Amino acid sequence: MKHIHIIFTALATLTLSLVSCGNSNDKADGYGNFEATEITISAENNGKIMAFNVQEGDVLKKDAFIGYIDTIPLSLKREQLLVSKDVVGSKSQGVLSQIAVLNAKLKVANTNKTRTESLIKDNAGTQKNLDDVLGEMAVIKQQIRSVEIQNAPVVNELKNIDVQIKQIADQIEKCKITNPINGTVLTKYSEAGEITAFGKPLYKIADLNTMELRVFVSETQLANLKIGQEVQVKIDNQDTMTDYSGIITWIASQAEFTPKIIQTKDERVALVYALKVSVKNDGSLKIGMPAEMWFQSPNPSKGKNE
């Protein structure tokens, strides 16, 4: 019995040792490559690039002014519209002055109407006098309406010119090349002095402060994963490996075949699930760099910082 007790004790110790080791074969739970959200900044107007202060590798701040496209043609068009507005406005002023004169006549006629009505009450006036005044007022009102109808196209033309001026101002504003996000310039497509067009790429930028590791795992591993879970990420560093802490930010809802760049030929036929791990970049992580993901810490001899 004593020997049996010793055997059971040894087996229990071995079992606990295997459980505590986790990945005892030093094989990662997932493999993948780092990604970043890349944004291509394109021209928002046509013309010659007058200044473009960007180089690949530059770290740019959001809303930083980095260049502009020639605005002279747009400025000249705006000046032309302003002159046209003055000419049309002078026509409108002439029409409005006519309306002012007619309103003054209508005011006098209305005063005469009140006076005539008072005279009639005192038996000092006749109905004919009142009818004459009312007829005069009706004519003046008709003249005012006629002039207002003549002025309507002029007013609409002024509104149209104002809209065009606003459009030109918007185009001039879009000649400014402003960086939209904090990030690092990955690729530069244009140079100062070149002619660009609306939608033509100028440069590509990405925020590299936080990288996304896209990893593929099997269906059996999903039960151990959840959004917000902390995992360990490792990259090759000469003869050892560098450790990073990562957070799972996304898990695919559908399976897919393992990408060819990730696994061996046999493993490529397996259905796997993609997930993304957010990793704080210390400057060493690059887009496309391969990495390993571990649910638990591997053998202490494997990594550098364990």
User: What's the pLDDT tens digit per position in 100-150?
Assistant: 877 888 888 888 888 888 888 877 778 888 777 888 888 888 777 877 777
Residue 259: which pLDDT band, with cuts at 50, 70 and 90?
A: low
Is domain 39-71+176-206 classified as CATH 3.40.50.300?
no
Average the pLDDT over 226-241 and give the result.
90
d(CA 15, CA 135): 115
- Confidence at residue 59, expressed as pLDDT on a 0 to 100 scale: 96
Is domain 24-37+207-294 classified as CATH 3.10.620.30?
no
Low-confidence winner among 45-54, 194-203, 237-246 (lowest mean pLDDT): 237-246
Nearest to 74 by CA among 162, 177, 174, 156: 174
The per-residue pLDDT for range 149-165, each reduced to its tens digit, is 777 788 888 899 999 99
Evaluate if residue 3 carries a pLDDT over 70.
no
CATH class of 72-174: mainly alpha
Residue 20: which pLDDT band, with cuts at 50, 70 and 90?
A: very low
97-102-108 Cα angle (round to 5): 130
Average the pLDDT over 152-180 and give the result.
93
Evaluate if residue 75 carries a pLDDT over 80.
yes
- Say what the pTM is: 0.68
The per-residue pLDDT for range 39-48, each reduced to its tens digit, is 999 999 999 9
- Confidence at residue 9, expressed as pLDDT on a 0 to 100 scale: 36
Residue 268: which pLDDT band, with cuts at 50, 70 and 90?
A: low
- 3-state SS class at 232: strand
- Confidence at residue 25, expressed as pLDDT on a 0 to 100 scale: 52
Ordered by start, the domain boundaries in the chain are: 24-37+207-294, 39-71+176-206, 72-174
Rg (CA), the chain: 40
- Confidence at residue 43, expressed as pLDDT on a 0 to 100 scale: 96
Q: End-to-end CA distance of the chain, in Å? A: 42
